[in-house]
Amino acid sequence: MVSTPRFAGNVRVDISDMKVSNRVGDVLVTYALGSCLGVTMYDPVACVAGMIHCMLPLSKVDPAKVAKMPCMFVDTGVPALFKAISELGAQKDRMVIKVAGCGQILGDNKLFKIGERNYTVLRKILWKNNMLIAGELVAGNDSETMFIEVSTGRVVVRTGGKEIEI
């Protein structure tokens, strides 16, 4: 367990949402990562951070929803996050990517495996773009809250009454 300051989380990233920031005082936060996927991207040189909270792996299940909510899906949301953070000066070769969520909140029901599928789609996207995950806390059974400090790129996940830096 890491001793952390109490995060204020002044920029909230809702479910099926994404935020990017280059304001040094900002802390991006997302809540209720169960089977959902939380991804942070950070460029330490440009001092730019981004966060996304995706619910489902593939957009092909509901093309109409993609037009309204591209961040709902990993396959459309993660590229959108990369584009948005790049527009603020982030560069791919400096990107630090961290991941949380992808759990089995409903227990070991193997029927849907949404968390596992979210993680698999993310890994495929990153692999195709020659990008690696620098830290992760995935596949648990508890809901998680994820924070990233824009000034440092520090990522902390709150889960099960603990704060863990990834």
Please list the ranges in the chain whose pLDDT falls under 50: 1-5
pLDDT at residue 1, as a whole number: 38
Please name which of 149, 16, 164, 48 lies closest in space to residue 100, comparing C-alpha atoms: 164
Please give the tally of structural domains in the chain.
1
Q: What is the side-by-side strand order in the sheet with 144-149?
A: 11-12, 27-33, 144-149, 155-159, 162-165
3-state secondary structure of 35: coil
**CATH number of the domain bearing residue 75:** 3.30.1330.200
| In a domain? residue 18 | yes
How many whole angstroms separate alpha carbon 145 and alpha carbon 122? 19
| In a domain? residue 2 | no
pLDDT at residue 139, as a whole number: 86
| In a domain? residue 41 | yes
How many whole angstroms separate alpha carbon 148 and alpha carbon 57? 23
| In a domain? residue 58 | yes
3-state secondary structure of 3: coil
Query: In the block, which residue shows the tokens 């950070």?
Result: 42
How many whole angstroms separate alpha carbon 128 and alpha carbon 65? 25
The pLDDT mean for the chain works out to 92
| In a domain? residue 1 | no
How many whole angstroms separate alpha carbon 116 and alpha carbon 96? 22
| In a domain? residue 155 | yes
Q: How are beta strands 96-101 and 133-138 bridged, if at all?
A: parallel
pLDDT at residue 3, as a whole number: 40
Are 49 and 65 in contact by the 8 Å Cβ rule? The answer is: no
| In a domain? residue 138 | yes
| In a domain? residue 55 | yes
In tens, the pLDDT along 97-111 reads: 999 999 986 655 555
Domain that holds residue 70: 11-165
Alpha-carbon distances of 5 from 2, 148, 158, 162, rounded to whole Å: 10, 12, 12, 13
Please name which of 118, 116, 30, 44 lies closest in space to residue 77, comparing C-alpha atoms: 118
